[in-house]
Amino acid sequence: MPATRPNLRQIADSLGLSVTTVSRALKDGPEVHPKTVARVKEAAAAAGYVPNLRGLALRTGRTHAITAVLPLEARAYLSDIARLPLIEGMTVAARARGYTLAIQSPLPEEDPLEALRKIVHLGASDGVVITRMTEEDRRVAWLEQNGVPFATFGRSAGASLHAYVDIDNHRIAREAAAHLAAAGHRRIALQLLSGTDVSSADRLEGYRAALATAGLAADPALVGRDDFSLEASQTSFARMLDEADPPTALICASELGLLGAIAALRQRGLVPGTDVALIARDNTRLCGYLSLPVLAHRVDMALAGETLVAALAGRIETPAAPPLRTVIAPGPLEAAG
Amino acid sequence: MPATRPNLRQIADSLGLSVTTVSRALKDGPEVHPKTVARVKEAAAAAGYVPNLRGLALRTGRTHAITAVLPLEARAYLSDIARLPLIEGMTVAARARGYTLAIQSPLPEEDPLEALRKIVHLGASDGVVITRMTEEDRRVAWLEQNGVPFATFGRSAGASLHAYVDIDNHRIAREAAAHLAAAGHRRIALQLLSGTDVSSADRLEGYRAALATAGLAADPALVGRDDFSLEASQTSFARMLDEADPPTALICASELGLLGAIAALRQRGLVPGTDVALIARDNTRLCGYLSLPVLAHRVDMALAGETLVAALAGRIETPAAPPLRTVIAPGPLEAAG
DNA sequence: TTCTCAATTCGTAACGTTACGATTTTCAGA
DNA sequence: TCTGAAAATCGTAACGTTACGAATTGAGAA
């Protein structure tokens, strides 16, 4: 920015020292006389000196910024309410570690790898957090090949090696389906994302595992894949409800999905949560204030964001250390509120 | 990031040209032979060249990043749900204009001016968006003195000159109070932020204007200043409701405030929206799903975010042009949903 | 006084880019 | 073939910082 800010040269000139000595003094270099260190630090503080990140970045290659590639336009990814604590968690954790968080929202029509390549080549950050992982994510391979520090939200297939934070989607869906089966439900519907997200695959697996354990058949017609707008969700559930053997329980995948399900039920004169059991994706505040008997797991998205940044910071600062891999356990399945 | 990315020198060497010529060719400099321009562009595309922002920033002073100073930890500022569309609007608009949005969440204990000074002196962005404006905001004076491009969310006292986007809080509170007065309410409570935010001052003024027009006295005991957690809001409203002459209508300031009010009412066996009228701050999705007779203005926070970035981009790119000043009009007071 | 060695301090180069002035090449006209 | 101007290209410096090796200073010993 155009603000004329003090730089090393000005401080050096004002003290009759060289730029080199001032630079070293400010980072307590052992070669600088203690008295000089004190003088320099005093002058720097008086002048309000802050090291210029642009020069620093060019010289050292470190920008002290991290970039999160997080779709914000697409309503399909993460519920509205789950997104904010994730961003908050990342921002706060980044700041606490001396980083700035930059958010890049990829355009839906862009090739994810190409978009990522551009972001990395800009060289404006020390590492990236990527989201919306697919099974064989080409981005992971590319990042690894190019030695770019990264952490992913959600595992990818080759997840044995890289830093990631994941929600235990398998367990969440499994517990949800198991609970419903134990309550006597035989026709349990599951809502998934429309893409090839790993999270959806995990949820589907967990759901099937629970059904198998309960001795129930898995009916593909009961697995909805819509893109999680309220309307799409409503349509999707409505179709299931209008079939010959409709579901008596729904496992939703976002609060928009939940609201869509409620709309579809009300449209048919059914009482949500009573006539048809409902399990929400996250136990968000919204669920609690629906005044409906809805169950949900509480998932700490802020913690997920913080852990993501911690994992990325680890890759940046100690590349030799093993990557941090975390699966966030959900809280117990409980009455939403 | 450590990725070895192509730079101008490599492209120049591979073509037997100088760095200067390649640099000029890539931006269609008129001094370069058209055939050379074509050759250079082809080679650059083949190599996947992306200009390095670090070098560019150092040379040109432009970082193509903007920083939004937005408190994310403090629950007191902006409702949870209103924050996300604001961030989304800013991110998307920034990206559309070739900027990256960085979010800096100031720590509550930090001096706002000092924190801003550090952010600016880092030189990591071309301009800043600041929020939580106070009447005589020292940050505005400092930014102006130092020639830093900026836009504010909310006006400050000397707002005649700088770029800002504001919500018409005066009108929102005025219409809310007027509507309640017209419905026969005589004791109308208003909830405000606890700080010295301009938005709260505007709301208070609008509220008082409506009461005066309706010939009602303004009772200071009916103006709550809490910090907008659900609990604080509940306590604050509870105190009012337990007084000798309790309010029969509440104008809330966030959805958390609304939920706190509902909790306080239910605690006393009162039916929210029926026994005591409620007007919410924003017509968020949550309000609609409360299944209560709640009124609210719809405020387009995503538009506010987009407009903020547009205003800031204007300051950065055409400093001579008059600053963009926008007041976002709310939608009509309507049944929430 | 002079020498030696350690303690300080300094100057230069480099990161990748663009601006500016200098230099080379090209080609029409004599 | 030569001249000269226009066209095209090149080299150098600079943005602010740090790393490296060189240069200077000072104190104690001979």
Assigned token pair, A98: 């001396």
Q: Is the pLDDT of residue B176 over 80?
A: yes
Residue of B2, B50, B149 lying closest to A118 (CB–CB): B50
CA dihedral A202, A204, A209, A213 (to 10 degrees): 150
* CB neighbour class for A38 (10 Å; exposed up to 12, middle 13-18, buried from 19): exposed
DSSP H helices in chain B: 8-15, 19-26, 34-47, 53-60, 80-96, 112-122, 138-145, 169-182, 198-213, 230-241, 255-267, 285-288, 301-317
Amino acid present at A20 = T
User: If pLDDT is split at 50, 70 and 90, which confidence band does B186 have?
Assistant: very high
Q: Which of B49, B54, B228 is the best mutation test for A, with the most CBs of A within 10 A?
A: B54
How high does pLDDT run on average in chain A? 89
Q: Where are the beta strands (DSSP E) in A216-321?
A: 223-225, 249-251, 277-280, 294-296
Residue B306 to residues B5, B148, B151, B333, Cα–Cα distance (Å): 32, 20, 12, 23
Using an 8 Å CB-CB cutoff, list chain B residues near A290: 289, 291
What residue has token string 């970035």?
Answer: B309
Closest listed residue to residue B303, CA positions, set B93, B52, B80, B46: B93
Q: Is the pLDDT of residue A239 over 80?
A: yes
User: If pLDDT is split at 50, 70 and 90, which confidence band does B165 have?
Assistant: very high
CA of A17 to C1' of C14 (A): 22
Q: Strand D: which bases are under 7 Å from protein Cβ?
A: 7-12, 14-21
Q: Is the pLDDT of residue A81 over 50?
A: yes
User: If pLDDT is split at 50, 70 and 90, which confidence band does A21 have?
Assistant: very high
Among residues of chain B, what percentage have pLDDT more than 90? Answer: 62
Lowest mean pLDDT among A114-128, A148-162, B16-30, B35-49: A148-162
Q: What is the mean pLDDT of residues A167-181?
A: 96
Q: Is A48 within 8 Å of B117 when comparing Cβ atoms?
A: yes
Contact, A105 CB vs strand C, < 7 Å: no
3-state helix, strand, coil in chain A (%, to 5): 45, 15, 40
Closest listed residue to residue B127, CA positions, set B59, B62, B66: B66
Using an 8 Å CB-CB cutoff, list chain B residues near A75: none
Tell me how far apart the 2 most distant CA atoms of chain B are, in Å. Answer: 89
Lowest mean pLDDT among A147-151, A272-276, B288-292: B288-292
User: If pLDDT is split at 50, 70 and 90, which confidence band does B74 have?
Assistant: low
* Strand ranges of the sheet holding B127-130, from the earlier edge strand across to the other edge: A325-328, A163-167, A150-153, A127-130, A65-69, A100-104, B100-104, B65-69, B127-130, B150-153, B163-167, B325-328
Using an 8 Å CB-CB cutoff, list chain B residues near A271: none
Handedness of CA A119, A52, B140, B313 (dihedral sign): negative
The Cα B337–Cα B60 span in angstroms is: 49
* DSSP secondary structure letter of residue B254: S
Q: Is the pLDDT of residue A213 over 90?
A: yes
Between B157 and A334, whose confidence is greater? A334
The Cα A85–Cα A144 span in angstroms is: 28
> What's the predicted TM-score (pTM) here?
0.87
Domains and CATH numbers, chain B: 8-51 (1.10.260), 65-167+302-330 (3.40.50.2300), 169-296 (3.40.50.2300)
* DSSP secondary structure letter of residue A323: P
CA of B26 to C1' of C29 (A): 35
Amino acid present at A165 = V
Contact, B9 CB vs strand C, < 7 Å: yes
Q: Is A92 within 8 Å of B73 when comparing Cβ atoms?
A: yes
User: If pLDDT is split at 50, 70 and 90, which confidence band does A257 have?
Assistant: confident
Q: What is the mean pLDDT of residues B142-165?
A: 87
3-state secondary structure of B296: strand
Residue-wise pLDDT tens digits, B304-332: 999 999 999 999 999 999 999 999 999 99
For A311-337, b/e burial (b = at least 16 CB within 10 A) is bbbbbbeeeeeebbbbeeebeebeebe
* Strand ranges of the sheet holding B277-280, from the earlier edge strand across to the other edge: B223-225, B188-192, B249-251, B277-280, B294-296, B334-335
Is beta strand A277-280 parallel, antiparallel or unpaired with respect to A249-251?
Answer: parallel
Assigned token pair, B297: 């203005």
Taking the stretch 15-54 of protein chain A, residues with Cβ within 7 Å of any atom in nucleic acid chain D are: 19-20, 23, 26-27, 49, 51-52, 54
Residue B305: predicted pLDDT:
96
Q: Which nucleotide is closest to A36, CA to C1'?
A: C8
Q: CA angle, corner B152, sides to A104 and B71, nearest 5?
A: 60
Q: What is the mean pLDDT of residues A67-91?
A: 77
Contact, B229 CB vs strand C, < 7 Å: no
Amino acid present at A11 = I
Contact, B35 CB vs strand C, < 7 Å: no
